[in-house]
Amino acid sequence: MTKTLFNLLWTFTKIGSVSFGGGYAMLPLLERELIDKRSWVTKEQILDYYAIGQSTPGIIAVNVSTFIGWQRAGWVGALAATLGFVLPSLVIITILAGVLTWSGDVPTVQHALAGVRVAVAALVLSTVIKFYTGAVKNKRGLGIFALTLGLSFFLGLSPFLLVLGGGFFGLILFSGPAGEEGKK
């Protein structure tokens, strides 16, 4: 049991330290580490976990790690896999955040960060466009998108409230067999 847990922890630490971006970017790594090398899960299982991981709250990569850990060794397995996955982030980000905080007053660093913000603005905008095509498939979806955007940006309404509102309107507006209605 201890060996299984250590294995889970170590495997997910490795995955967490080489996967950039999480989410689907992690899929090829999971395939190599968990299917090819260890035969812990099947490809179908991983894809199932992704489907659920996306349709539940929380970070997708964490949800998938939790699933695989649970399937290998129950509760403690879920904990071991998830902690393993976040461990590299904790170390790397703490070091970088420390360096940035420490060097934040240097004028060159400030100019560089102002430029970085411009790049981040462009990256976020392109992410929104990419997500938009996947999430907004009809006029009702467009309505929910536009309303949430406006209420958040102009009125500063709480994102918690707006997420609940989105789910609520989804239940009301997309009545009937969910799959078919959603495609219209």
Residues 120-139 that bind another protein (CB under 8 A): 120-129, 131-132, 134-136
Binders in 82-101 for another protein, by CB under 8 A? 82, 85-86, 88-90, 92-94, 96-98, 100-101
Residue with tokens 């539940």: 56
Taking the least distance from each CB to another protein, the nearer of 7 and 66 is: 66
Q: How many angstroms separate the CA atoms of 119 and 19, rounded?
A: 22
Shortest Å distance, C-beta 182 to another protein = 5
Tokens of 176: 């009937």
Contact yes or no for 5/77 (Cβ under 8 A): yes
DSSP 36: I
Please report whether residue 40 would count as binding another protein according to CB under 8 A: no
Question: Nearest CA to 70 among 23, 117, 4, 13?
Answer: 4
List the one residue from 38, 47, 103, 181 that touches another protein (CB under 8 A). Answer: 181
Q: How far is the CB of 39 from another protein (least distance, A)?
A: 20
153 binds another protein (CB under 8 A): yes
CA atoms of 8 and 3, how far apart (whole Å): 9
- Please tell me whether residue 147 binds another protein under the rule CB under 8 A: yes
- Residue 88 CB, shortest distance to another protein, in Å, is 6
Does residue 47 bind another protein (CB under 8 A)?
no
Q: CA nearest 168: which of 146, 148, 149, 183?
A: 148
Please identify, among the stretches 3-11, 32-40, 142-150, the one whose residues bind another protein according to the rule CB under 8 A.
Answer: 142-150
Q: How far apart are CA 96 and CA 83, in angstroms?
A: 20
Q: Does 180 bind another protein (CB under 8 A)?
A: no
Q: Is residue 76 within the footprint of another protein (CB under 8 A)?
A: no
Taking the CA atoms of residue 1, residue 52, residue 36 and residue 14 in that order, the dihedral angle to the nearest 10 degrees is: -60
Number of residues that bind another protein (CB under 8 A): 102
